[in-house]
Amino acid sequence: MLPFNKPYFTGNETKYIEDAVSSGKISGNGDYTKKCQAFFEQHYGFKKCLLTTSCTDALEMAAILIDIQPGDEVIMPSYTFVSTANAFVLRGAKIVFADSRKDHPNMDENAIEGLITTKTKAIVPVHYAGVACEMDTIMEIAKKHNIYVIEDAAQAIDSYYIGKDNIRRPLGSIGHMAAFSFHETKNIISGEGGLLAINDEEFINRAEIIWEKGTNRSSFFRGEVDKYGWVDIGSSFLPSEIIAAFLWAQLENLKQIQTVRKNHWEGYFDKLSDWAGANQIELPKVPEYATNNGHMFYLVCNSLEQRTKLLGYLKQNRILAVFHYISLHTSPFYAPKHEGGELPETDRFTDTLVRLPLFYELNPDEVIEALLKF
């Protein structure tokens, strides 16, 4: 069976893990942690970066940092992974779901302002498939209503937004904060892992405290205080040096990994365009204001029935393709709490979207040849 995903190893992961172990420092915030954080700050211009054990943890830190309280409202897409919502639900927030765009699973930026109330605390745009949401509009709305923007950039490493000023900005650098994922299904991996990117200096000092279980331990090790103690709420958000060492081996090869993945994506797009049109299947759209980071290649079928047949056909041909999110507003947990209206575009993507295999060592032609016979 051709898998949907296969983790790629550069060859230096175990070497760096052995180095971390031999150093005698395998708890968090060691040399490899610092190297990874510095890479993101220098390469993408984030003001402060903190590695976390997951993207979920990074989102939970963001929720604490903007002081989410019971009754606060947070606007986000319904077509997203449950972690996007859970981070804020855990702090007592009410989730207000926005529909997807007609041409892309990303949230419809034109639907946001109508959802804002006096209780709205934040907007959480999710850059689905590594393709940017329309951030100029989102930031303008947020500024107008004095609310925070937390980018869920779990899938969006090394992807960019091209604003109305024609400046390319890395995804994750536009909102007040952003969360990234290094789960084994992502472009750059550490098995499990994440990153909180902070772009507003207001949050930097407190973020480090929350990251260190609510203590000023980091300040102590830098010699800024003569002892450290419990000064705020927090949790054990930082990963071990073993995870950071693995991640560093990946980051060293970011350019190569991205080149290969984007080539696979382009191969799919070029060779499936005629077939897709003949079968009334939509291929991914990358708006003019966005770039493609080769994270995901998906198809949008014309019906649930067609998708079911397509998935079954690929499975018969020993190719594992999968659907994606079930709309959060229809989930068993949140459906009773959802007070908004119907979200037809979100539900359409729930019923019709198919993700094709995409990983470094993939030969896309194996999948393409099978699809052309469907």
Convert the pLDDT of each residue in 32-83 to its tens digit: 999 999 999 999 999 999 999 999 999 999 999 999 999 999 999 999 999 9
Question: In terms of domains, do 187 and 270 share one?
Answer: no
CA contacts within 13 A on the Cβ side of 17:
13
The answer to whether residue 82 is domain-embedded is yes
Domain that includes residue 216, residue range: 13-251
In this predicted structure, what is the pLDDT of residue 354?
98
In this predicted structure, what is the pLDDT of residue 329?
97
Give the end of a domain, one of 197, 225, 251.
Answer: 251
Q: What is the mean pLDDT of residues 122-137?
A: 98
Burial class (CB in 10 A: 0-12, 13-18, 19+), 123: buried
Question: In terms of domains, do 201 and 275 share one?
Answer: no
Question: In terms of domains, do 236 and 268 share one?
Answer: no
Give the end of a domain, one of 224, 251, 278.
Answer: 251
Checking if the pLDDT of 315 tops 90, the result is: yes
The answer to whether residue 154 is domain-embedded is yes
The answer to whether residue 5 is domain-embedded is no
Confidence of residue 269 (pLDDT cuts 50, 70, 90): very high
Q: For residue range 172-191, what is the model confidence (pLDDT) as tens digits?
A: 999 999 999 999 999 999 99
Q: What is the mean pLDDT of residues 262-291?
A: 98
The answer to whether residue 180 is domain-embedded is yes
In this predicted structure, what is the pLDDT of residue 48?
98
Question: In terms of domains, do 155 and 194 share one?
Answer: yes
Checking if the pLDDT of 105 tops 80, the result is: yes
Catalytic residue among 48, 94, 121, 186: 186
Question: In terms of domains, do 223 and 288 share one?
Answer: no
Question: In terms of domains, do 59 and 73 share one?
Answer: yes
Confidence of residue 297 (pLDDT cuts 50, 70, 90): very high
Question: In terms of domains, do 179 and 164 share one?
Answer: yes
Question: In terms of domains, do 230 and 312 share one?
Answer: no
Checking if the pLDDT of 352 tops 80, the result is: yes
Count of positions (residues) in the chain: 374
- For the record, the structure tokens of 205 come out as 């000092």
Question: In terms of domains, do 298 and 230 share one?
Answer: no
The answer to whether residue 2 is domain-embedded is no
Question: In terms of domains, do 245 and 331 share one?
Answer: no
* pTM for this prediction: 0.97
Nearest partner of 297 among 165, 182, 155, judged by Cα: 155
The answer to whether residue 324 is domain-embedded is yes
Give the end of a domain, one of 197, 216, 251.
Answer: 251
Question: In terms of domains, do 188 and 326 share one?
Answer: no
In this predicted structure, what is the pLDDT of residue 225?
77
The answer to whether residue 111 is domain-embedded is yes
Question: In terms of domains, do 241 and 357 share one?
Answer: no
In this predicted structure, what is the pLDDT of residue 200?
97
Q: For residue 273, give the CATH number of its domain.
A: 3.90.1150.10
In this predicted structure, what is the pLDDT of residue 328?
97
Cβ atoms 119, 96 nearer than 8 A? no
- d(CA 153, CA 251) in angstroms, rounded, equals 17
Helix 344-352, helix 304-316: angle, nearest 10: 20
Q: For residue range 215-263, what is the model confidence (pLDDT) as tens digits?
A: 988 777 777 777 789 999 999 999 999 999 999 999 999 999 999 999 9
Q: How many domains does the chain have?
A: 2
The answer to whether residue 4 is domain-embedded is no
Q: What are phi and psi of 61, to 5 degrees?
A: -60, -40
Judge whether 144 counts as a catalytic residue: no
Q: For residue 170, give the CATH number of its domain.
A: 3.40.640.10
